[in-house]
Amino acid sequence: MKKRKIVLSIVAVAVFISSFVFFSPVAKSVESSWTVFYEVLDIVHREFVEKNVNTTDLIYGAIKGMLESLNDPYSRFMDPKAFGETKVHMKGEFYGVGIQIGMKNNILTVIAPIEGTPADKAGIKSLDYIVSIDGISTEKISLEEAVNKIRGQKGTKVLLGIRRKGEKEVLEIPIVRGGIKLKSVNKSKMVTDSIGYVQLVTFESKEATKEIEDAISKLKEKKFKGLIVDLRNNGGGLLQNAIQIASIFLKEGVIVQTVDRNSEKEIFSVVPRPVKVQSYLVILINEASASASEILAGAIQDHKRGIIVGKHSFGKASVQNIRPLSDGSAVLITIAKYLTPKGTDISKKGIIPDIESDFTTENIKVMSAPEYEYNEKDDVQLQKAISIMNDMMKSDQKSGKINKRQKLVTVNKNSD
């Protein structure tokens, strides 16, 4: 898939359309559709009961409808204001409630709240269903509409109707929007004398790779023998970050491959990085690990570089590109699907962990209490990762990591 920049003036577009109409049999259908569109636009302007109809709003509405007809929740239109907010968001500091949302089974779903944000403090949890926003049902609204309704100025309030998985009761949760500073690395520390731990909460920030490299460099000073990378509740982000971060852990080989509309594949391989990790590796994932998180976990799994622990991931296996438009608006369009290095399509299935680990009903009840403060000992998935890491480090130091990994996966699966 070649990168290309296309700049079209209105005249150029007109020439393209006229040429397309003249030469292409398919174009006659397109020309007919344009005719109908302009007929409707003219009827609205001449006959609609309210005279002050904004043409831009009509056009934007038509564009949104066009993208919604693709039945792809990730392709959407952003007006100039929304696009401006998105650009600020990517710089790592913005206003809002601090959640990543997506569509799961056609239901508006919280992929993950960002730790320490208004949404997190209000009690919003990964995989919560958002059934209403300010009293309006989300059943028939698009992802783009939901994003616009939840966004807002600092100090303003939004009311989210939340239904938890497996529960019928709807919780009405008010959230006051605030300033959000996006940090890619939320925690980095030694969890034992020999095991390092890094929690990566997003791939969205342009500083994500540098942040994790800095965190790993500091942990290296403490001479860790094994590293746990926590991707739970990480909703993903930039493809480039996933490739660079995977390159920290892999010596060589394919990280991910994308397939475009023409079935053409593009291979993304390991790139040079100033920081490399060759120690034992465990990756933690859950149902809210999505997109770039799945690229990283899939690459580690396919190359047998480490052990994947937790629950199957979200299953978002598509790549979007932002196409800025001439009036300051933009289209976010799905341009490809991605496959793991071995060619596995994880769409809607997710990455299946090597070793499954989940919270018990009692764990969830304790950790969901409003007064609860996080304690590593209650985190059964993290404790499982630490146990597996200890087993790896106790195994024969002379044997290869791949063999140790395969043996440990088998042993742990049989023991669960």
Task: Return the active site residues.
Answer: 291, 302, 316
Q: How many CB atoms lie within 10 A of CB 138?
A: 20
- Candidates 388, 405, 391, 220; CA nearest to 306 is 405
User: Which residues does residue 334 pair with via DSSP β-bridges, in sequence order?
Assistant: 320
Q: Which residues contact 142 (CB under 8 A, 6 or more apart)?
A: 64, 68, 73, 76
Query: Cβ distance 185 to 92 under 8 Å?
Result: no
Q: How many CB atoms lie within 10 A of CB 195?
A: 23
Cα gap 320→163, rounded to integer Å: 29
Supply the DSSP symbol for 416.
-
Which amino acid would we find at residue 267? Answer: I
Extract the runs of DSSP E, i.e. beta strands, from 126-167.
Answer: 129-133, 136-137, 157-163
Task: Report the DSSP pairing between strands 195-200 and 226-230.
Answer: parallel
- Candidates 321, 334, 270; CA nearest to 296 is 270
The region, left, alpha or beta by phi > 0 then psi within -120 to 50, assigned to residue 233 is: left
Give me the residue label for tokens 């990480």.
234
Cα gap 169→163, rounded to integer Å: 6
The SS3 of residue 3 is coil
Cα gap 123→110, rounded to integer Å: 12
